[in-house]
Structure 1
Amino acid sequence: MTPVKTLLAGATAAVALVASMGAASADTWRYAFEEALDEVQGIFAQKFKEEIEANSDHEVQLFPYGTLGESADTMEQAQAGILQFVDQSPGFTGSLIPEAQVFFVPYMLPQDTDALYDFFRNSKAIHEMFPPLYAEQGLELLTMFPEGEVAMTTKEPVTSPEDLDEVKFRVMTNPLLVESYQAFGATPTPLPWGEVYGGLQTNIIQGQENPVFFIESTKMYEVTDHITFTGHNNFTTAVMANKEFYDGLSEEDQKVVQDAIDVAFEHILDYQSNLQEEGLAAIKEAKPGIEITVLTEEQRQPFMDAAASVEETFIEMTGDSGKAILDQMKADIEAATGS
């Protein structure tokens, strides 16, 4: 073989190798989320993986929290296409998509479970208004779903905003959540999740909020003494795909992905049916002295009054776009609650 032919043959082989590597990597989809494999986001991801692998030749690799860094790291990897899928709360995407902070306006989402689920299934704000905003950040919004009522865990009892005075309360790095806890009377303290347990243990912070299943699984009750339900929110998360990746899929594969998302969505709602009660029972068994308080409507009213300013701040932060989404969400919630 002449040198030229050898060179051409080598180039052709290299192109074929790269092409085959690309095809192989396209068949292995990487999916990162913010929780452990046996927590809500992990259960959703496992169901999604099961559906994809049962209905296509693709494989899904799952990366629980911490395996690829903090939330900011996984979002960067998703935008760069290193990850094909990512599950992340609007609490962390608020800096990229300010309008997503609407989910942190206190006392807006329905507290009735059926109404809440109806809202997430049918909301025009979620299904029509948010996708273009995510697309601007290189992300395909696949779904949003609730993970459970948020509860405060603190070292001292909380029955009014005055009880949060000078309490350093851990919040996600989210401007509107900071605003919410300022309105509630606390000193909001943004911290990466990996530092929260140690911060409570050493009294750098004195409180944090999360759904009960997460409080139980991460053992936050070990370093706090009170769990308080103020009824102010339900934790929301969003599943996204890298948009360039998603747009490059065949129509058949896009349908496989969306069908898997739909199945996982209904699965995770069913999975949560008794999750809060089971979590509280496990916490009580592990720490019998824990105080669990559900505020009465009368006790909640001062928190609700204080929260009114947060909605105004959201509109100031996001302008006409945010106001349009807020108004549509209110209409969606009215439709879900029948009020």
Structure 2
Amino acid sequence: MKHINKSLVAAALAASLLSAPFAMAEKVLRIGHDNKADIMENPAHAFTGVFKNIVETATNGEIKVQVFPSNQLGSAKEHIQMVRDGQLQGTLAPVGPLAGYYPRIGVLDVPFAFKSNAATYEVFDGKFGQTLARDIEGELKDVKVLGFPDTGGFFSITNSKRPIESQKDFKGLRIRTMTLPTHQKIIQSLGAEAYPLAWGEVYSSLQTGVIDGQMNPIPTVSFAKFNEVQGYLTLTNHLFAPYTFMVNKDFYDGLTAEQQAIVSDAVEIALSSNRGLARLIEASNDRGLDGLKAKMKVNALSDGQRQAMRNATQPGLIEYIKETHGEKGTELLELFLAEVDKANQSVYLQ
């Protein structure tokens, strides 16, 4: 992890205050995230851009939202600590960095759990999402969790060797994962070698052959330009790993009831934009699957292939989560599985 120069961060935040007219009369909500400052390029900035617009408009400028993209103020893990310390007021926390503060986020890593993107929305906007939010707040004590934005949809796997159609195709592949034991165990259960690696090293490691492949959602594969260094893309849809949108608890508690309601409404609308952009990128001609197909061979798993991989990975991961996260983790896991099952069986407007 790179180290933050605290004086530079303080100067940047002080400058952001001084640059705003009547800043001292405003409540300023500073949000850090790890993606580019393009509202149409990635789901993270789509979320923060829409959230900013609604909050500033609906509060008539009483709350000013400032967004610091591209890890301007530090890494994703450092953003979380800065929110806890009150140096930032908000961040979109990926599951990897969040696990260092809240290990039970690993409950989400049950492989091949969801049937569709719609099912993920139902689970994270419903009873499980509410329970997870309160559990994170209870563990960290200094944050307020407001929602679970989409990082880009389901994970797919890319590699430079061959199409993946069954478990035997994983043999001999070295696949990059986040530094999460659950992600590593999934890849190992499928028969490949798991290779934890920092995000900033992934492209060059693929390019030089240090690793053979990686796993991420389609929008990430696209904006990271992995199609330049990978020949094969398999739509495994094996994981869904949302951001956790959290804000500093003292900041949130300092808002009026009316301002808190506006922030909540803004999150709900921003989630729709965030999820919509992720689906639009997947379907777009240039950045979605059609664009990736120009340089990569793309294949989707059949129901039978997915079931075989589910059988190979899910029982062991469930047992690992129970053993690792104890009674609280087991209760959260059981609620997650129950809500996923309900969502998978749900039929829209029926």
TM class by shorter chain equals 0.7 to 0.9
Which residue matches 2:10? none
- Alignment match of 2:235 (pick from 212, 216, 229): 229
Q: Within 5 A, what are the aligned runs for 1:182-201? A: 182-201=188-207
Q: How many residues align?
A: 316
> In structure 2, how many angstroms separate the alpha carbons of the residues matched to 1:190 and 1:140?
30
Greater C-alpha Rg: 1
Q: Percent identity of the aligned residues?
A: 27
> In structure 2, how many angstroms separate the alpha carbons of the residues matched to 1:232 and 1:312?
18
Are the structure 2 counterparts of residues 173 and 129 from structure 1 closer, same or farther at C-alpha, using a change threshold of 3 Å?
Answer: same
> In structure 2, how many angstroms separate the alpha carbons of the residues matched to 1:87 and 1:321?
24
Are the structure 2 counterparts of residues 66 and 289 from structure 1 closer, same or farther at C-alpha, using a change threshold of 3 Å?
Answer: same
Which residue matches 1:4? none
Q: Within 5 A, what are the aligned runs for 1:15-94? A: 24=24, 27-37=27-37, 38-56=41-59, 57-94=62-99
- Alignment match of 1:338 (pick from 319, 336, 345): 345
Of residues 132-141 and 81-90 in structure 1, the stretch that sits farther from structure 2 once superposed is 132-141
Deviation at 1:34, TM superposition (A): 2.6
Q: Within 5 A, what are the aligned runs for 1:129-208? A: 129-137=132-140, 138-146=142-150, 147-157=152-162, 158-208=164-214
TM-score by length of 2: 0.83
TM-score by length of 1: 0.86
> In structure 2, how many angstroms separate the alpha carbons of the residues matched to 1:63 and 1:217?
19
Which residue matches 1:5? none
Which residue matches 2:14? none
Answer yes or no: is the 8 Å Cα contact 1:183–1:310 preserved in 2: no
Which residue matches 2:102? 97
Deviation at 1:195, TM superposition (A): 0.9
Which residue matches 1:125? 128
Which residue matches 1:11? none
> In structure 1, how many angstroms separate the alpha carbons of the residues matched to 2:33 and 2:241?
15
Are the structure 2 counterparts of residues 262 and 287 from structure 1 closer, same or farther at C-alpha, using a change threshold of 3 Å?
Answer: closer
The code of the aligned residue for 1:144 comes to: F
1:315 counterpart = 2:326: no
- Which structure 2 residue ranges, 5 or more long, are not aligned? 1-21
Answer yes or no: is the 8 Å Cα contact 2:136–2:145 preserved in 1: no
Which residue matches 2:264? 258
The code of the aligned residue for 1:325 comes to: L
Deviation at 1:269, TM superposition (A): 2.9
Are the structure 2 counterparts of residues 291 and 105 from structure 1 closer, same or farther at C-alpha, using a change threshold of 3 Å?
Answer: same
Which residue matches 2:299? 293
- Alignment match of 2:282 (pick from 253, 276, 290): 276
Deviation at 1:25, TM superposition (A): 8.4
Are the structure 2 counterparts of residues 259 and 41 from structure 1 closer, same or farther at C-alpha, using a change threshold of 3 Å?
Answer: same
Q: CA RMSD in A?
A: 2.2
Deviations along 1:99-126, whole A, 9 cap, x unmatched?
1112211012x2223333222222x121
